[in-house]
């Protein structure tokens, strides 16, 4: 519970320790151990793409996760199914290439311009844009909308708005949050 509150509220560990009636060292240990266990359950990129191949598509979006470290904001990407279910959240390494290898179509925003043969981005807005380009952009936005919601859910965890940790630890935090977002609540 302490780790969950830490992720949701982004309060300092000493404040959380006092709230739970434990020492700061114990609170750090509980949070670190819990995050490590949750992160271990998150799928790696190749695992997340299992079962997807030619004819399938995913939605990719990225962001910088702000940290309190100087010049150390970390780039992360979220990959979601067409229905918006997050598949994985990872640092921006190898995602486009993995989808290209499997011939998975990637719907992305304009930041992914010239990213690869299987990446589709909207057309640039020009005043004299043909109607078919405008229609493509509307369809593209409609298909990407569920992925945008998945990304917004990830950013709803306050810890990811401004992390107070080392940049390597952010990867563990993102994976732990992914596990919490996608765990099966039926059992």
Q: Dump pLDDT digits (tens) for 117-174.
A: 889 999 887 666 788 888 899 999 999 998 888 778 877 888 877 777 777 787 788 8
Q: Is a pLDDT exceeding 80 seen at residue 37?
A: yes
Our CA dihedral for 29, 32, 37, 40, rounded to 10 degrees, sits at: -150
Query: Residue 165 has what pLDDT?
Result: 76
Confidence of residue 184 (pLDDT cuts 50, 70, 90): low
Packing angle of the helix pair 24-41, 2-9 (nearest 10 deg): 80
pTM listed for this prediction: 0.77
The three-class DSSP label of residue 129 is: coil
């Amino acid at each position: 519970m302490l780790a969950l509150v830490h992720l949701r509220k982004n309060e300092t560990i000493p404040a959380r320790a006092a709230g739970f009636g434990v020492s700061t060292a114990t609170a750090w240990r509980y949070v670190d151990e819990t995050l490590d266990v949750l992160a271990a359950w998150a799928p790696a990129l190749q695992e997340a793409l299992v079962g997807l191949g030619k004819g399938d598509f995913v939605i990719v979006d990225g962001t910088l996760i702000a940290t309190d470290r100087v010049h150390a904001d970390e780039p992360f990407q979220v990959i979601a199914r067409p229905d918006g279910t997050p598949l994985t959240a990872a640092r921006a390494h190898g995602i486009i290439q993995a989808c290209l290898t499997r011939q998975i179509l990637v719907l992305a925003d304009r930041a992914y311009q010239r990213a690869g043969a299987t990446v589709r981005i909207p057309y640039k807005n020009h005043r004299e844009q043909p109607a078919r380009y405008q229609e493509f952009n509307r369809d593209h936005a409609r298909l990407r909308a569920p992925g945008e919601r998945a990304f917004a859910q990830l950013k709803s965890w306050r810890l990811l708005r401004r992390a107070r940790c080392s940049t390597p630890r952010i990867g563990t935090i993102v994976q732990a949050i992914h596990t919490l977002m996608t765990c099966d609540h039926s059992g």
